[in-house]
Amino acid sequence: MGASHLAVIAAISLSGLVPSSCTKVFSAREAKNHNANTNTAAADAKAAAITPENTRDLGELDLTNHYDTSVYLGAGRSCTISPKLLDKDNLQLTLTLQSKQADGKTAGLVVTRVTTRPGKPFEVGIGDMDITITPQIAPE
């Protein structure tokens, strides 16, 4: 056996000692940075999922304090807006986005609550929808 044969045998023998996969062990600081980067990537992916079909500008919407208003968004989706006037400058809106299948069964339901000013446009992400509204409160 020559030197080259011994080198091959040694390489094959030593390759069994090398792990076939690697797992990185993070320090506390590295884990925090890794998780932050992962969360940022997930947020970027969610933002990329909002397409023009999932963007609606409802414009000025006349609302009455404590009365629900329902808006059809297309593709089996509707948004129910429940306004609550907190004071003369602040309005709390509860938005409920509901998706229905062709047979009428609920496919998805997402609820979010925002506080805004009457007469001021705002944008809100709810589920995979991006909705822009300018709420107007009717005088009581």
Domain boundaries, the chain: 54-137
CATH assignment, 54-137: 3.10.450
Q: Which residue has the higher pLDDT, 138 or 52?
A: 138
> What is the C-alpha to C-alpha distance for residues 85 and 118, in angstroms, rounded to an integer?
9
User: 106 forms bridges with which residues in the sheet?
Assistant: 100
- pLDDT value of residue 38: 46
CB atoms within 10 A of CB 121: 14
Inform me whether the pLDDT recorded for 10 exceeds 60: no
For 27-45, write each residue's pLDDT tens digit.
Answer: 555 555 555 544 445 555 4
pTM (two decimals): 0.62
For 41-99, write each residue's pLDDT tens digit.
Answer: 555 545 445 567 789 999 999 999 999 999 999 889 999 999 999 998 999 999 999 99
Inform me whether the pLDDT recorded for 140 exceeds 70: no
User: 109 forms bridges with which residues in the sheet?
Assistant: 98
Helix (H, G, I), strand (E, B) or coil at 52: helix
CB atoms within 10 A of CB 83: 22
Phi and psi, residue 41, nearest 5°: -65, -40
Confidence grade of residue 7 (pLDDT, cut at 50, 70, 90): low
> What is the C-alpha to C-alpha distance for residues 140 and 60, in angstroms, rounded to an integer?
18
> What is the C-alpha to C-alpha distance for residues 94 and 76, in angstroms, rounded to an integer?
20
> What is the C-alpha to C-alpha distance for residues 123 and 3, in angstroms, rounded to an integer?
73
Inform me whether the pLDDT recorded for 104 exceeds 60: yes
- pLDDT value of residue 23: 40
